[in-house]
Amino acid sequence: MQPLLAVEGLTRRFTRGGHTFSAVDDVSFQILPGETLALAGSSGSGKSTVARLVMRLLRPDAGRINFEGRDLFGLSASDLRAARARFQMVFQDSTAAFNPRATVARALDDPFRIHGLGGRADRPHMIAQLLEQVGLSPDLARRAIHEISGGQRQRVALARAMATNPSLIVLDEALSAVDSSLRIELLRLLLDLQARRNVAYLFISHDLALVRAIAHRVVILDAGRIVETGPATRVIDAPQSPTTRALVAAVPRLRGAEGK
């Protein structure tokens, strides 16, 4: 099977206070269609920078990213605009991701309008279907973004990402800002959507309990470099690197499981 996403030798440097450092240093991985790959690591490990490089929100200093067989950084502006329908992102902060005064309907209409999907008369029905797919009532469409709960906003963010029927969604700490009960519900929703739509996820997290619950494979980052990779259960249950062992030790549920 051909990879959906192929990242090769990705490097990104930043300069702060006259000092240049590599936030991402020679990172390579692949994601297959319908697969979840997790990027895990502590704060500052480079995982969110990788996410922004994959989304072409940043340009790399070295390396390449192929998506659906095309070099993302070789696309023209018009080709990139068309390709963006195929890869979407859900951020950690659902409040900052939206215009708080916009209605839910307006937020979900934007991707349809931008990518020319459906006629104006069809979109209310399309929006209602999106809301139902993420477990929300279509009546929510009339509400303003600032009037709904954090959990509802994150479901709306996921609905917006799903609007263009992408083959890849980048989830950058998308579950870390909700409470534990909502986190479980959103995990189940992500797994259900993946099963129904065959969408692939690049799942960014510092929490290995979440990674173990959703990911097929995991890449562990430390100071911008890959220190361990493999099937998620194997890496988490039998960590080889000090970085992975420290991440496992930081999660109470995983510590408890190891003690059995």
Residue corresponding to tokens 């494979």: 217
Structural domain of residue 64, as residue ranges?
A: 5-96+168-258
**106 domain residue, yes or no:** no
Q: What span, in angstroms and rounded, lies between the C-alpha atoms of 119 and 128?
A: 15
**115 domain residue, yes or no:** no
**110 domain residue, yes or no:** no
Give the orientation angle of helix 150-162 with respect to helix 180-197, to 10 degrees.
Answer: 10
**120 domain residue, yes or no:** no
**234 domain residue, yes or no:** yes
**130 domain residue, yes or no:** no
CB 36 within 8 A of CB 210: no
**35 domain residue, yes or no:** yes
DSSP 51-63: HHHHTTSS--SEE
CB half-sphere exposure, 241, CA atoms < 13 A:
16
Looking at the 3D structure of the chain, how many domains does it have? 1
pLDDT of res. 255: 43
Mean per-residue pLDDT pooled into runs of 10, the chain (260 residues): 95 92 96 98 93 94 96 92 93 78 93 88 94 94 91 92 96 84 90 95 94 96 97 96 93 50
Does the pTM surpass 0.85? The reply is yes
> CA angle 51-36-91, nearest 5°?
35
Nearest to 108 by CA among 178, 186, 166, 164: 164
CB 221 within 8 A of CB 46: yes
pLDDT of res. 59: 94
pLDDT of res. 203: 97
pLDDT of res. 259: 39
Cα separations (Å) of 44 from 23, 181, 223, 225?
Answer: 8, 27, 7, 11
pLDDT of res. 183: 87
Looking up residue 64, the CATH number of its domain turns out to be 3.40.50.300
